[in-house]
Amino acid sequence: MLTPLPIAPPRHDRHIPSSQSADSLSLVAVASEKPHAGNNQPAPAVSFRLRAFGPDSRRVRYTRIAAHTVGGSAAWLLRRTGKNSVQDWLAGAIVMAPRGLSDVPQNLSGILGQLHREENTGLDHKAVAAAIVALRTADAVIAGPFSPDDAIAPGIVAHLADFARRAYRTLRPPRGLIVHPGFAQIARRFQFIQMSHHEARTLAAGAIDIGILAQRLRQLQGESGEFAITKFSGHGLLWADGRWWEIDPIGGEEVDEPRAGAAFCAAWVVARRFLEAPAVKALSYARSAAANSNLKK
């Protein structure tokens, strides 16, 4: 039996204005990186300006967080709430969301103080505190790609979705997460999912028909979610705005699928959340980004 999840964080309505100023938005990416001793801090945030489809532009603050840092935050909360037993790990720990988020202070100094008082396992307190603040204040979050170890870390994906509950959340799941029996519980915490056709084949016992795979993913994610199954050397499928859209190929067998997929996903988030584009415009924007990434190899 899987441990039941509490009510999933609401799926953010992309048309609701950000709580930040209208000209400033925050994009956070959580992805696997090789830990470096003494250098676990999030990469410095960078700002850039997006030109919208009209005459206006928006400034975006981009922050990248190592997945193992978010995993450390999840482990801390699991320990402090007593939900870190062997039984819990065996009962669906991948999808188990740590509790006690409401007890975590809102500001950086408060989180650091709590970590210093409660946590002595060698966790990088500054990195964890900065990650929590970044996720809480994000307007959009892209989760993935993850290494096999990070993907199955207890509570990591559900945890970052809970902290980013006010954000537009996007998931790029690895195969190890897709095949997990609790994947549906994770998928329903995200507004958008992007996976390659190769990864999607694990959704339906190795089926290769993209239509069958897309229907299975739609069933798992629920009616209100949106997703793309991409194959840039062939044809992909997008489910958005309540209908199917074909994703045309951008090249032949020489396409770098992971690189193109990353560009497509980031551009979709920018167009859909920050520029508030309808699906047809967001798809064109994202496909163009994927094609351009293939030209710059």
What is the predicted pLDDT for the residue at 165? 92
What is the predicted pLDDT for the residue at 120? 72
What is the predicted pLDDT for the residue at 35? 59
What is the predicted pLDDT for the residue at 5? 33
What is the predicted pLDDT for the residue at 7? 38
Give whole-number Cα distances, 146 to 14, 34, 35, 61, 101, in Å.
25, 11, 13, 22, 23
46 backbone dihedrals φ, ψ, rounded to 5°: -125, 150
- Within 8 A by CB and 6+ apart from 5, the residues are 95, 96, 97, 158, 185
What is the predicted pLDDT for the residue at 103? 81
What is the predicted pLDDT for the residue at 2? 30
**Per CATH, which fold does 191-297 belong to?**
UDP-N-acetylmuramoyl-L-alanine:D-glutamate ligase (3.40.1190)
Nearest residue to 195 (alpha-carbon basis) of 216, 214, 173, 211: 173
- Within 8 A by CB and 6+ apart from 49, the residues are 57, 58, 59, 60
Nearest residue to 226 (alpha-carbon basis) of 291, 286, 155, 181: 286
Domain ranges of the chain: 1-138+147-165, 191-297
What is the predicted pLDDT for the residue at 6? 37
Per-residue pLDDT of the chain (297 residues; tens, 9 = 90+): 333 333 345 454 444 444 444 557 899 999 998 755 444 555 556 656 666 666 666 788 899 999 999 998 888 888 776 654 444 443 355 666 666 677 888 889 998 888 888 767 678 899 999 999 999 999 999 999 999 888 878 888 988 999 999 999 999 999 988 988 889 989 999 999 999 999 999 998 878 999 999 999 999 999 889 999 999 999 999 999 999 999 999 977 788 999 999 999 999 999 999 989 999 999 999 999 999 888 765
d(CA 55, CA 261): 28
